[in-house]
Amino acid sequence: MAFTANYKSNRNLFLCKSDQEMASKLMDQLLEIISGKTNRAEKISIALSGGRTPLILFRYLSVALKSFKAWDRILVFWGDERCVPPDNPESNYKNAYDTFLSKVPIPEENIYRMQGENDPEHEAKRYSSLLKKLNIQMGVPVFDLILLGMGDDGHTASIFPDQMHLLRSEKFVETAVNPYTKQKRLTLTGRLINNARNVSFLLSGDNKARIFSEIYHERAGADAFPAFHIRPQHGTLSWFCDEKAAGLL
């Protein structure tokens, strides 16, 4: 499946010289999304990504957004979660809370964590129903911004290469399994991600370079990687990457 013709018109590439610059440019995008809301009371829905890379951004935001006042308008969700308790070091919620959310005055009720400690199937259903709080277009919730990372195998969120059906699932949230560790996961589906207004990948390190280059240039075989299939149907796709991750572009 090749990128649609208009895909290139709504895709941004931000090559950054440092982690700081990557975080700063992503924050600029977030502030642009917020200021773009004509209705000053309208909420802004963001899904955070997991893994290590976003911690760069979270630490930066916890300082750079000290003077930000509209925290009551920000609704925070997750793109995926490990099926572990919220105090487990593996928890994407714990990492985001410890490095960012606990350091800014966002109302607790605006933080919607995936409850990794609960039965995965039950939690997938619960979280799906939560997403109905968002704007709904064509029957699918619309996030203002979904942050994503990409694994060394081209997975994104918790959609792994051996579970490509999660890209096309009719559900909004599905259970998944990390094929390497067998750890159970919860993930937004590709259909939901591709309904977002903005989807932004944050890539750092040369271990991302080969697959990123294949996806970005739509090389033969790149469609084997889940991240290849992330292309917002009505929104904008942005890649924020450091020089190492972009080293083979």
> Nearer to ligand 6PG by C-beta: 19 or 21?
19
Nearer to ligand 6PG, 42 or 206 (CB): 206
Nearest approach in angstroms of CB 238 to ligand 6PG is 15
**Quick one: which of 156, 175, 189, 198 contacts ligand 6PG (CB under 6 A)?**
156
The residue among 73 and 184 lying less far from ligand 6PG, judged by its C-beta, is 184
CB 71: neighbour CB atoms within 10 A?
14
State the nearest-atom distance from the C-beta of 144 to ligand 6PG, in Å: 19
Smallest gap from residue 76 Cβ to ligand 6PG (A): 15
Q: Does the footprint of ligand 6PG cover residue 49 (CB under 6 A)?
A: yes
**Which burial class, exposed, middle or buried, applies to 59 when counting CB atoms under 10 A from its CB (0-12, 13-18, 19+)?**
middle
**245: which residues sit within 8 A by CB, 6+ positions away?**
203, 204, 205, 206, 208, 209, 212
The owner of tokens 């995936």 is 114
Q: Closest separation between CB of residue 150 and ligand 6PG, Å?
A: 6
Q: Which is nearer to ligand 6PG, 34 or 192 (CB)?
A: 192
Asked if 203 contacts 141 with a C-beta cutoff of 8 angstroms, the reply is: no
Q: Does 52 bind ligand 6PG (CB under 6 A)?
A: yes
Could you say whether residue 226 binds ligand 6PG (CB under 6 A)?
no
Residue 149 binds ligand 6PG (CB under 6 A): yes
Distance of closest approach, residue 38 Cβ to ligand 6PG, in angstroms = 32
Which residue lies nearer to ligand 6PG by CB, 29 or 92?
92
Site residues (vs ligand 6PG, CB under 6 A): 49-53, 80, 92, 149-151, 155-158
